[in-house]
Structure formats: C-alpha cells, structure tokens
C-alpha cells in the first residue's frame, strides 16, 4: 500500500453529531449491546435500529442469559429493552413533535441467534472460539494530533462535541440535536497547516435562520471553531459554510430516516485510511468487524506512540468460525524507523504475549471487551478517545515498551 499524499494538498473529513438520525440508531443499538453484556458477558448480539418520524424499530439476532434463552423472553425483558431505548433518545435530547423520546412508536423485532452461526462461533471441546464473520479490518494512527488521529476528522469531531456540550449545558439554547461538520485542511510536507474550508450545519430553534437569530448562530459557530482549531489555521482565506441550505428546524429522525452502521467512515478515520466495510455498533465483541478493528487501532496507535513510525496502517483478516487471523499486514507508508516486515513480526509477537493472540477470544479478554462499554463509542468516533477506566481500552498506549523490546 503506497502513500497517496503529495507535498502540498487539501484533505477533508466530516463528522455528525449524536443527534444525527444514523447516530441515534447507532447509540440505540449499542445501548442494547451494553444492556445484554451487563446481564451476560458471553451474550451474542447483532442489533440493527431504524429511526424515522415518531418510530424506532429494532431487528436482529440475540442470545443472552436472563434476557432471551431457548427461544423465549425472560419476564420483563421486553419492557427493559424499551426503557433503555427511550432513555437513550431522551439523553440525546429529542423532545420534538416529529420525534419525542416519550411518545414515539416502538417495535422490537429481535429474535434468537441462528444455530448454524452459533456452532461456528462458539468454543467447543475440540475448537477455540471462532470469528463471528469473515472480513477484513483496518487500524490506523498518525502523529498529526495528540490523540494520533487524522487532523481533519479530529477537529470535525471536536466541533460537534462542543456544540452538543453547549446545547446540554444551556450555553447555546438555540441549538437542537442534529448537526454535521466538515473540515478541509491544507497539508504541506505531510503536516496540516491551514483550514481552507469549514462546513457546519446545525439544527436550530425557530427564528435562527434569518436576521439577528441567524447572525447569533453564525457568530457562535465561528467562535467555537476558532477555539478548537490550532492558532493560525483560520484566516481571511478560509471559506465558511454555516447552514448553507438556510433553515434547519426539522432534523433528526423526523427529517431523515436513520439506520445503524451508515456512518462507518465517521466512526473510524475520516477517509484518511482504509476501512474494511463492516460497521461496529450493535455488535458484541465476538464479531471481528468490531473487536478486530479495535485491536488493529490499538496496535497501530502503539506503533506510532513508540516513535516507530509517524503513520501506521494495520490490516487483519478472518474467516467465520476460524479462530486465528488469516493475515496480518503492517504498512508505515515510508515513515517507519525499521523495515515494515520486521515491525509486522514485532506486532505479532507483542500481540501474542500481551493479549494472548489475535483470536476473537484473545482480543476480547486482552482488551476487556466483554463489558457494557459501547454506547459512549457510538457518537464522535470510536477512535481518538480517552482511555478511562474500562472505557476505550483500545486507545491505551501500554505496548510501547514491549514493541521497542521486540525490535531491540
């Protein structure tokens, strides 16, 4: 894989807020994952969510002790699921005529996991736990930002996180939950140096699309962006597009249907690195779409944190029902301090020693993924977050010394 970058170029990434309809769906799906894992760490969950005007629909396959076993629901389980879904929408902040946490119609179409899938995935007397599906997964890290993420995506996320925080605190009472951002940066010699375009579209209360209200909203957005971007990135040459379509009063699931897994580039690296194609939200950690993407990021981040490269991409591949990955690939795009093949061997060695290998079980146990830790990941990116307690363990940089020792 060669590095696509030139010495001077523009690159763009987008983000969407927690109130974007697709992100509402992602957060609901991950709230269900967390609910089930809180009951049974070995639960199997594949939960998809549809949101639209005054409607939330769940569909998918599950298996969970104390919730759904042997084809039957436990007493009160359906009611608890609905309560979790409504609480998630309430936390996001939807209390609108077209989508209200208390009054939307709810359908639960979850059902038992296929036995044909279970027999390939579950561990047995003569086999280790297999991957929950075939596929390719990528992890990536770059030294462009303190969190070792692509700068365009990093700042796109930060803008919307600030808007949401101000909305929740009351500092920006004119904002509603749905929003999108897009940041275009100029890169010189591989480093971001200036913002050439900023796009922010945010749902707002009535009266903030004309006159003084519009001016207040625009000034607020510009102030937030100025506080978030590095000093000197904004200039008179920066193009601004704030609510470029005009009014944005109708938003969220009332304005556009939402589905789990439709914002996978927002979830990962903003287009700055490959994506395997599989979504994360709504899946338990036996699904390598999720867990292997997390461990790939974990390994790539530690490579960059160790100073072994300024940019690192890692690919893993799996077959359904097969425990060990079919391949491991490391590419530093010419920025590595050692040969990529040597780094590949070191990564494999450290993963075996520190995680117990790159099998689904090794990843789950090594990173502590069998816990209700997923809903916070379902908005503002799964990567580039702060590892705190049990949350975001794939963002730790505790393999740095081991990687250096393996290459000594």
| Whether 262 is catalytic | yes
Options 48, 144, 178, 267, the catalytic residue: 48
Options 162, 262, 361, 364, the catalytic residue: 262
Options 118, 257, 345, 387, the catalytic residue: 257
Options 283, 311, 364, 382, the catalytic residue: 283
| Whether 398 is catalytic | no
| Whether 61 is catalytic | yes
| Whether 22 is catalytic | yes
| Whether 275 is catalytic | no
CA–CA dist 153, 16 (Å, integer): 11
| Whether 263 is catalytic | yes
Options 11, 14, 20, 176, the catalytic residue: 20
Contact 323, 359 (CB under 8 A): yes
Options 61, 69, 143, 166, the catalytic residue: 61
Options 86, 157, 263, 301, the catalytic residue: 263
CA–CA dist 406, 234 (Å, integer): 43
Contact 252, 271 (CB under 8 A): no
Options 44, 63, 158, 180, the catalytic residue: 180
Options 14, 22, 30, 176, the catalytic residue: 22
| Whether 8 is catalytic | no
Options 40, 289, 331, 395, the catalytic residue: 289
Options 248, 280, 383, 392, the catalytic residue: 248
| Whether 179 is catalytic | no
| Whether 176 is catalytic | no
Q: For residue 243, give every residue at least 6 positions away whose Cβ sits within 8 Å of its Cβ, in sequence order, or none.
A: 200, 201, 202, 204, 209, 214, 217, 218
CA–CA dist 399, 387 (Å, integer): 14
Options 69, 122, 209, 256, the catalytic residue: 256
Question: How large is the C-alpha radius of gyration of the chain?
Answer: 22
| Residue 294 main-chain phi, psi, to 5 deg | -65, -45
Beta bridge partners of 318: 135
Q: Tokens for 193? A: 């140096």
Q: How far is CA 362 from each of CA 170, 302, 345, rounded to the nearest angstrom?
A: 44, 18, 18
Task: Look up residue 131 and give its DSSP letter.
Answer: B
| Whether 23 is catalytic | yes
Residue spans of alpha helices (H) in 172-263: 211-228, 252-255
Options 158, 287, 311, 364, the catalytic residue: 287
| Whether 48 is catalytic | yes
| Whether 257 is catalytic | yes
Active site amino acids: 20, 22-23, 48, 61, 180, 248, 256-257, 262-263, 283, 287, 289
């Amino acid at each position: 894989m060669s590095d696509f970058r030139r010495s001077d170029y523009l690159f763009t990434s987008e983000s969407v807020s927690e109130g974007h309809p697709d992100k509402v769906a992602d957060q609901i799906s991950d709230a269900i994952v967390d609910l089930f894992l809180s009951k049974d760490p070995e639960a199997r969950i594949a939960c998809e969510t549809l949101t639209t005007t005054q409607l939330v629909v769940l569909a998918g396959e599950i298996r969970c002790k104390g919730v759904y076993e042997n084809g039957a629901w436990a007493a009160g389980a359906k009611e608890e699921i609905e309560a979790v879904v409504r609480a998630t929408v309430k936390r996001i902040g939807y209390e609108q005529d077209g989508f209200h946490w208390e009054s939307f119609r709810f359908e639960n179409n979850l059902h038992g996991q296929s036995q044909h899938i279970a027999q390939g995935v579950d561990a047995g007397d003569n086999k280790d736990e297999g991957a929950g599906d075939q596929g390719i997964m990528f992890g990536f890290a770059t030294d462009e930002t303190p969190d070792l993420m692509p700068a365009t995506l990093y700042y796109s996320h930060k803008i919307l996180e600030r808007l949401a925080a101000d909305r929740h605190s009351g500092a920006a009472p004119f904002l509603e939950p749905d929003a999108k951002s897009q940041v275009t940066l100029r890169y010189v010699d591989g480093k971001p140096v200036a913002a050439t375009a900023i796009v922010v579209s945010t749902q707002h209360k009535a009266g903030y699309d004309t006159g003084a209200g519009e001016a207040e909203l625009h000034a607020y957005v510009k102030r937030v962006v100025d506080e978030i971007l590095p000093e000197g990135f904004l200039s008179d040459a920066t193009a601004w597009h704030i609510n470029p379509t005009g009014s944005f009063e109708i938003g969220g699931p009332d304005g556009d249907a939402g589905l789990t897994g439709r914002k996978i580039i927002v979830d990962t690296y903003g287009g700055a690195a490959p994506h395997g194609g599989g979504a994360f939200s709504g899946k338990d950690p036996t699904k390598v779409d999720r867990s292997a993407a997390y461990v790939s990021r974990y390994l790539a981040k530690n490579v960059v944190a160790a100073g072994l490269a300024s940019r690192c991409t890692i690919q893993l591949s799996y077959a359904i029902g097969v425990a060990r990955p079919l391949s491991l690939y490391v590419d530093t795009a010419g920025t590595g301090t050692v040969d990529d093949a040597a780094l590949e061997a070191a990564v494999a060695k450290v993963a075996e020693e520190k995680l117990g290998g790159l099998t689904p079980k090794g990843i789950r146990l090594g990173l502590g993924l069998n816990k209700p830790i997923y809903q916070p990941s379902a908005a503002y990116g799964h990567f580039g977050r702060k590892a705190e307690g049990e949350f975001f363990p794939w963002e730790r940089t505790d393999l740095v010394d081991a990687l250096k020792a393996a290459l000594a």
